Structure 1
Amino acid sequence: MPSFFKNKLKIPMVLFGSVVSILLYAIGIFLLFNCCYLLFFALAGHKKVQPLQEKVKLDRRFCVLIPAYRENEVVLESSKAALRHAYSGDFDVFVIADGLEPETLQELKTSGVGVLEVFFEKSTKGKALSAALGMLPEHAYDIVAILDVDNLMGQNFMQEVNKAFNAGYKVVQAHRTAKNMDSAFALLDACNEEINNTIYRKGHYAIGMSSALIGSGMAFDFAYLKKLLQGIGETVGEDKELDFRIVKDQEKICYLDQVYVYDEKIENAKVFTQQRTRWIAAQLEFLEKYAAEGVVQLFRNGNFEFFNKVVQAFLVPRVLLIGVLGLFFLSSLVLPVGPSPLFWAVLLLMLSAALFIALPGRFYRNKKLWQAILHLPYALFCMVKALFQIKKAKTSFLSTPHKVKAVSPEV
Structure 2
Amino acid sequence: MDFLESTASVILYVIGAYLLFNCCYLLFFSLVSHKKAKPLVELLPIDRRICVLIPAYRENEVILETSKAAVNHAYSGDFDVYVIADGLHPETIQQLKTIGVGVLEVFFEKSTKGKALAAALEALPENAYDVVAILDVDNIMGRGFLQEVNKAFSAGYKVVQAHRTAKNMDSSFALLDACNEEINNTIYRKGHYAIGMSSALIGSGMAFDFRYFRKLLTGIGETVGEDKELDFRIVKDQEKICYLNDVFVYDEKIENAKVFTQQRTRWIAAQIEFLKKYAFEGLVQLFRNGNYEFFNKVVQAFLVPRILLIGVLGYFFLASLVLPVGPSPKFWAILLVMLSAALFIALPARFYRNKQLWKAIVQLPYALFCMVKALFQIKKAKTSFLSTPHTAKAVSNEI
What TM-score, normalized to structure 2?
Answer: 1.00
Q: In structure 2, what is the equivalent of residue 90 of structure 1?
A: 78
Partner of 1:395: 383
Residues 353-390 of structure 1: per-residue CA shift (max 9 Å, x gap): 00000000000000000000000000000000000000
Which of 336, 339, 359 is 1:351 aligned to? 339
CA distance in 2, matches of 1:275, 1:45: 27
Determine helix, strand or coil for the equivalent of 1:174. strand
Q: Give the gaps of 5 or more residues in structure 1.
A: 1-12
Amino acid at match of 1:313: A
Q: Secondary structure at the match of 2:153?
A: helix
1:72-111 aligned at under 5 Å gives the runs 72-111=60-99
Look up the match of 1:369: 357
Which AA in structure 2 matches 1:326?
Answer: G
Match of 1:382 in 2: 370
* Secondary structure in 1 matching 2:180: helix
Q: Does 1:410 align with 2:367?
A: no
The answer as to 2:283 corresponding to 1:295 is yes
Q: What's the CA shift string for 1:262-292, capped at 9, x where partnerless?
A: 0000000000000000000000000000000
Letter matched to residue 327 of structure 2: P
Q: Which residue of 2 aligns with 1:225?
A: 213
Question: How far is 1:138 from its partner?
Answer: 0.7
Query: Deviation of residue 410 (structure 1)?
Result: 3.2
Give the equivalent residue in structure 1 for 2:241. Answer: 253
Cα deviations by residue, 1:60-101 (Å, 9 ceiling, x for unpaired): 000000000000000000011000000000000000000000
Determine if the alignment matches structure 1 residue 173 to structure 2 residue 161.
yes
Q: Distance in 1 between matches of 2:139 and 2:302?
A: 29
Whole-angstrom CA distance in 1 between matches of 2:45 and 2:268: 42
Secondary structure of the residue that 1:258 maps to in structure 2?
Answer: strand
Alpha-carbon separation, structure 2, partners of 1:263 and 1:379:
20
For residue 35 of structure 1, the aligned residue among 23, 29, 37 is 23
* Separation in structure 1 between the aligned mates of residue 47 and residue 350 of structure 2, nearest angstrom: 34
Which of structure 1's runs of 4+ aligned residues deviate more than 6 A?
Answer: none
Match for residue 3 of structure 1?
none
Report the Cα distance in structure 1 between the residues aligned to 2:44 and 2:96, rounded to whole angstroms: 35
SS in 2 for 1:239: helix
Long gaps (5+) in structure 2: none
Counterpart pick for 2:299 among 311, 316, 321:
311
Q: For 1:232, what is the secondary structure of its paired residue?
A: coil
1:278 aligns with 2:266: yes
Matches of 1:184 and 1:266, distance apart in 2: 10
Q: Deviations over 1:214-233 (max 9, x none)?
A: 00000000000000000000
Q: Whole-Å Cα distance in 1 between the matches of residues 343 and 124 of structure 2?
A: 43
Residue 268 of structure 1 is matched in structure 2 by 256
Task: Give distance in 1, aligned partners of 2:318 and 2:214.
Answer: 51
Match in the other structure for 2:100: 112
For the aligned residue pairs, the C-alpha RMSD in angstroms reads: 0.4
Verify: 1:142 aligned to 2:130, yes or no: yes
Aligned length: 399
The structural deviation recorded for 1:50 is 1.8
Distance 1:22 1:387 in 2: 26
Q: What is the distance in 1 between the residues matched to 2:38 and 2:235?
A: 22
Q: Deviations over 1:225-272 (max 9, x none)?
A: 000000000000000000000000000000000000000000000000
Residue type matched to 1:182 in 2?
Answer: D
Q: 1:214 aligns with which of 202, 207, 211?
A: 202
In 2, Cα distance between equivalents of 1:396 and 1:382: 19
- Counterpart-to-counterpart distance in 1, 2:54 and 2:48: 19
1:162 to 145, 150, 162: 150
1:49, CA displacement in angstroms? 1.2
Q: Which residue of 1 aligns with 2:181?
A: 193
Code of the aligned partner of 1:178? A
Shift of 1:210: 0.1
| Residue among 330, 334, 355 paired with 2:322 | 334
Between the aligned partners of 2:303 and 2:45, the Cα distance in structure 1 is: 41
CA-to-aligned-CA distance 1:177-217 (integer Å, 9 cap, x gap): 00000000000000000000000000000000000000000
What is the percent sequence identity of the aligned residues?
83
Matched residue SS, 1:181: coil
Q: Which has the larger radius of gyration?
A: 1
- Separation of aligned partners in 2, 1:241 and 1:44: 26
